[in-house]
Amino acid sequence: MTATTRGAFIVIEGLDRSGKSTQAAILQSRLQGGEQSARAVLIKFPDRTTAIGKMIDAYLRSQSELDDHAIHLLFSANRWELASTIYAHLAAGVTVIADRYAFSGIAFSARKGLPYEWCRAPDIGLPAPDLTLFLNVGPEVARVRGGYGEERYEMEDVQRGVRAVFERIGEETKRTGQGEWVEIDASREKDLVAEDIWRAVEPLSIGVVSSLQRLW
Ligand code: T5A
Ligand code: NA
């Protein structure tokens, strides 16, 4: 009897300008181009194209003001909008790569002082990633990369606070064993970062047998 495989759910997290979008694109083409070529889709959070996403976009570009709780819930709602799409892809054997996910949601809001458990609550029940790649860079690296400083959250002290919450989430993920959390040194050149990412992803590239978990 052969167990059916599903697509893998892979999340790329990290500080602003750590190269998440760059690496997500490289990973997608690598998954699709290899010998065991897998279908892979890329989704990005926030998804600024939906009605909720447009509100988030206006907030991030400081064109609107929102209560900290309200914007947190919008980011979460934006993930729920795509949850059924994620499930459908995985069930059809398609690998899903998410550029940011619920962990960014917690990190940015808890940094502002909202209670950690409160921040986690609205994402409970979302599909849990099989693998989270945390792209780690120091603030000095982020500063020299293009465009840094244009959006609301991109100041250095914000990034420091966000990093501290990400570290807590990583520890908890490792302790509970709900999905894998792998830290990648993303301060190096793109190809080296991509190699480390591939090493972590390759075992999943032929599909996953275990059933999908939910957060948290
Ligand atoms: N947010 C998000 C919340 O508060 N709550 C939430 O729930 C969620 C999901 C927008 C903001 O929203 C917050 C977090 C953010 O502050 P976003 O739209 O993902 O989130 O932000 P973006 O601006 O699109 O992305 P980032 O700034 O995070 O950049 P990336 O994707 O990490 O980096 P990337 O790949 O775009 O690269 C940035 C620059 O660096 C270069 C690239 O060419 C590019 O110029 N670069 C490298 N340079 C040298 N060496 C390398 N290895 C490089 N890799 C990339
Ligand atoms: Na990005």
Task: Indicate which CATH number applies to the domain containing 120.
Answer: 3.40.50.300
Its domain, for residue 34, covers 9-204
Tokens standing for 126?
A: 């979302």
pLDDT at 111: 97
Above 70 in pLDDT, residue 34?
Answer: no
43 CA → ligand 2 middle, Å: 11
Q: What is the ipTM of this complex?
A: 0.97
pLDDT at 210: 92
Q: Answer whether residue 178 is part of any domain.
A: yes
Q: Answer whether residue 90 is part of any domain.
A: yes
Closest CA to 5 of 95, 86, 84: 95
pLDDT at 35: 64
Q: Which ligand is nearest to the CA of 45?
A: 1
Q: Answer whether residue 3 is part of any domain.
A: no
Q: Which residue has the tokens 């982020």?
A: 142
Q: How many domains does the chain have?
A: 1
Q: Compute the distance between CA of residue 127 and CA of residue 9 in angstroms, rounded to an integer.
A: 8
Question: 36 pLDDT band (50/70/90 cuts)?
Answer: low
Q: Answer whether residue 17 is part of any domain.
A: yes
Q: Answer whether residue 2 is part of any domain.
A: no
Closest CA to 104 of 124, 81, 76, 85: 76
Mean pLDDT of 86-115: 97
57 CA → ligand 2 middle, Å: 13
